[in-house]
Chain A
């Protein structure tokens, strides 16, 4: 009732607000500022794709105006094993994401649903691992993996990728789980579901959107990870995309066309995956749970 009584004046006020005249100076300034902002944000990305279709030679000097387009750069990176790097990245990140997300779902379910001793320390530990500078891990990990002869082993890298994405995956997932009322679990347990069945058949389907967002974010983090990959993979044929991209920077000369094509190929999957989940991530982010 109150809603109906309150609404009409509110609508009227808003309407008046919308039709209020802004001075032409202000309007022009807002348009100019918007155009500048859009240019600042978008132009480097547009430039990657534009330049990736230009002959390498035309990227040097001011000859970029001529409208010559070519697939030469893409052919070039393809010849230089980029397909291989892409396959390696897909293989490593794909498997790691599945493991990381499943393990995270289990842990976060228990963290959000059950009371047990020392839970505070577990959360504290998660935070610690989230803020830890990865660069510090590089040498110890390299030595550790070298001892067990695990350098140039994709499974070693997968283990790393699972663990580096676990803390914030759990954190993010606990947040999504909190939005699901615990009455659901209680009702299911009352009806004779086992504890695992309750999680698997009652909660998991409802958590699906959160799982998709978390998995996507983990995937993107692994997809662009550079440090661990460079420490653990030295054989060219085993390298991942970010390492492949770095390979195109020569010591003296840089083939910008090839670099741009490689950048375009690295960014495209990230863009396509990122756009559908971004609003969900923003929600999780204001809760302080995403790793950048």
Chain B
């Protein structure tokens, strides 16, 4: 740390002010406004009149609503838990495969990494667009092939059929989000000290033992950070569900992010939408606290 005298404090302040002033203006005011609205019955059509104070009514309505419970379940289970678990497990497995002796010897490591970069560089909105075409009920590649090969007689509307919609949405998310795990874990695997493997070889360790006692402990911190970040991003994501299914069929694949939007801009119930938003932000905050305690403090603890 550099030392500085009292009158030089203004340098420090001056450097910090633009960044923190702007972020505070951008985040604090809307957050407070949002919380305030969540206690009113404000409507999008009655913005000028403003809303009437209704106390906790919006929140009580939410917690008594079984549809809302389903929305929370969809968000936490399907959108977040399932898609994140699949990405972490598959991503780590693929990273191990890419970095394995055999794949190296076959010189397939670089082509595999290059291929994995493509989905990562694809914007989420484009990812949904192209997969929508692949899954399309009338013109999609998958349906055409399945019909051609005689597996099905009727095309399947993947993104419009309750029994297929979540697997289809999760496929899109996994395609777009798997590479970041694969490539980061592959990089993490390269940092495992070689001599540990050599020592294990001398001790006559089996490959499973080597994985469990050398590779896994070394990869775990990176995997944990990635798991946490992926969870937060996916929980917050609006694009995947909205662009692929518009929360449908009906409201079958509705999640918190799309519910905030639907209540505000389709049902015009800004008060209720704000309550949902506040609830969603509070849930995200739980992840935020974990992230701060276990990732940020660990990494930048020396600076604080």
Contacts and interface: CB of A to CB of B under 8 A. Distances in A.
Interface of A: 10, 13, 17-18, 20, 22, 26-27, 30-31, 33-34, 37-38, 40-42, 44-45, 47-48, 51, 59-62, 64, 103-104, 106-107, 109-116, 119-120, 122-141, 143-144, 159-160, 162-164, 166-167, 170, 174-175, 178, 182, 185-186, 189, 195-196, 220, 223-224, 226-227, 242, 245-246, 256, 259-260, 263, 266-267, 270-271, 274-275, 278-279, 282-283, 285-288, 290-292
B34 A136 contact: yes
A153 to B, nearest CB: 15
A169 to B, nearest CB: 9
A111 B124 CA distance: 32
6 contacts: A45-B130, A64-B141, A163-B22, A224-B125, A245-B125, A288-B296
Contact of A131 (B47, B198, B285): B285
Nearest to A118: B304
B239 interface: yes
B217 interface: no
A143 B285 CA distance: 24
Given A31-B106, A129-B27, A283 B187 contact: yes
A44 B281 contact: no
B18 A103 contact: yes
A124 B285 CA distance: 11
B247 interface: no
Contacts of B45: none
6 interchain residue pairs of minimum CB distance: A140-B30, A224-B123, A107-B19, A136-B277, A163-B26, A131-B288
A133 B20 contact: no
B94 interface: yes
A41 B115 contact: yes
Nearest to B139: A60
Interface string B280-293: 11001101100110
Interface of B: 1-2, 4, 8-9, 11-12, 15-16, 18-20, 22-27, 29-31, 33-34, 37, 47, 94, 97, 100-103, 105-106, 108, 111-112, 115-127, 129-131, 133-134, 138-139, 141, 144, 148, 175, 177, 179-180, 183-184, 187-188, 194-195, 198, 201, 222, 225-226, 228-230, 232-233, 235-236, 238-239, 243, 256-257, 260-261, 264, 270, 273-274, 277-278, 280-281, 284-285, 287-288, 291-292, 295-296, 299-300, 303-304
A210 to B, nearest CB: 15
A286 B126 contact: no
A292 B184 CA distance: 13
A227 B238 contact: yes
B26 A159 contact: yes
A7 to B, nearest CB: 12
B2 A286 contact: no
Contact of B264 (A114, A130, A138): A138
B175 A143 contact: no
A242 B123 contact: yes
A283 B222 CA distance: 11
